[in-house]
Amino acid sequence: MINAFHQIDEVIHQKIRLGIMSLLAAHDSAEFVELKEQLQVTDGNLSSHIALLEKNKYLTVHKSFAGKRPLTTLKITKKGRDALAKYFEVIKLILEE
């Protein structure tokens, strides 16, 4: 258990970031506003967590427009998907004994 504990990915092991990554893993991509609604967080809070995930290359951020409305689309990367899978394995190792 203890070896697994020290392998916990702290980038993912935070409630909002786990929510973002899980939603992206399930849907491949999502709009900023969708994540905000689903996770019930403020713009600023969501933005800071997305920035950290982007910095770690777990997701990509694409900004565009839908008519005049700005549209921010998040997409999970291969690295992010792998990190999420590993995170789950680590948590299982910690908790299943």
In angstroms, give the least distance from the CB of 69 to a copy of itself.
24
Q: Name the residue nearer to a copy of itself (CB basis): 45 or 70.
A: 45
Among 76, 36, 38, CA closest to 57:
76
Assess 8 for contact with a copy of itself (CB under 8 A).
yes
Q: Which stretch binds a copy of itself (CB under 8 A): 41-49, 57-65, 69-77, 86-94?
A: 86-94
Edge-to-edge order in the sheet of strand 29-31: 29-31, 69-76, 59-66
Do 11 and 90 meet the contact criterion of CB atoms below 8 Å apart?
Answer: no
Assess 7 for contact with a copy of itself (CB under 8 A).
no
Assess 19 for contact with a copy of itself (CB under 8 A).
yes
- The token duo for 74 is 């998040």
In angstroms, give the least distance from the CB of 86 to a copy of itself.
11
